[in-house]
Amino acid sequence: MSSRIDAIDLSQSLTHEESERRILNGVRRLVHLRLFTAGLLESHTVGPGLLVLFEGLDAAGKGGAIRHLTSGLDPRHVRVVPIGVPSDDDLRHHFLWRFQESLPGKGEMTVYDRSWYGRMLVERVEGLIDTPTLKTSAREIVEFERAIVDDGLTLVKFWLHVSDKEQLARFNDRQNDPHKNWKLTDEDWRNREKRADYLKALDYMISSTDRPHARWDLIAAENKHFARVAVIETLVDRFVHDLERRGFDVPKAHGDDYLS
């Protein structure tokens, strides 16, 4: 039985020049929308908070996509939160507890580099949770995302996907580059050996948590230029659609801004 992951067309690509042009236009449009929802335009409208969540296999390009996505934003208007291993204090609470403080308020924007989906990926693959806990966690995530969306948050979820061959090439590139090898750890190599287990976990994660209020956007990241454009243009589309759904009079794009 095929999955949505199997259906991702990894052959999609863009040239560096085309990518840079479209990223620039997309970022300009995102800046315009952020000024609008932060209440900094003439209308002084304050819109919903925006949470952008990134997941993907190691070396899929999450960091690069996040840097390009936020490149034009004033640092006061976006917060990037890297999500690591839960602390001892985190483990004393419900697994979603540690994310509460970093959720964006109205008019704010937060980007998660990894997220609560570690529960359904790393913790599942490493055998830290059993099957009943996994199923319960999936239901709790769906309910949690519905609650924060109903409360006025725009949630956009990205999975960046690369082939086994491309991931290995990127690992080797990092290992051989003194400016990049800090990114590569023994843990990354160990995770790579469990790729089949992660893909199985990923299929379940997508099928059990892709809902109308919190869709998964699966990005072909074999070509980094294509992936970065897909992320920014998809985000703008999702943001505009959610603002319109909520009844906001969304300002039109200016000049060469990416038209949504």
Q: DSSP string of 42-60? A: TT--B--EEEEEEEESTTS
Q: Which domains does the chain have, with CATH numbers?
A: 16-245 (3.40.50.300)
Report the pLDDT averaged over residues 49-69. 97
Report the pLDDT averaged over residues 8-36. 97
Residue that has been written with the tokens 């790393």 in this structure = 122
> What percentage of the chain exceeds 90 in pLDDT?
86
CA distance to 122, 159, 195, 246, per residue, from 199 (Å)? 11, 12, 6, 35
pLDDT band of residue 224 (cuts 50, 70, 90) is very high
State the pTM of this model.
Answer: 0.94
At residue 1, the pLDDT reads 43
pLDDT band of residue 2 (cuts 50, 70, 90) is low
- The angle, 0 to 180 degrees and rounded to 10, between the axes of the packed helices 131-150 and 195-209 is 50
At residue 179, the pLDDT reads 80
- On the CB side of 4, CA atoms within 13 Å amount to 17
Task: For residue range 200-209, list pLDDT tens digits in order.
Answer: 999 999 999 9
Does residue 243 sit in helix, strand or coil?
helix
* CB 64, CB 47: distance < 8 Å: no
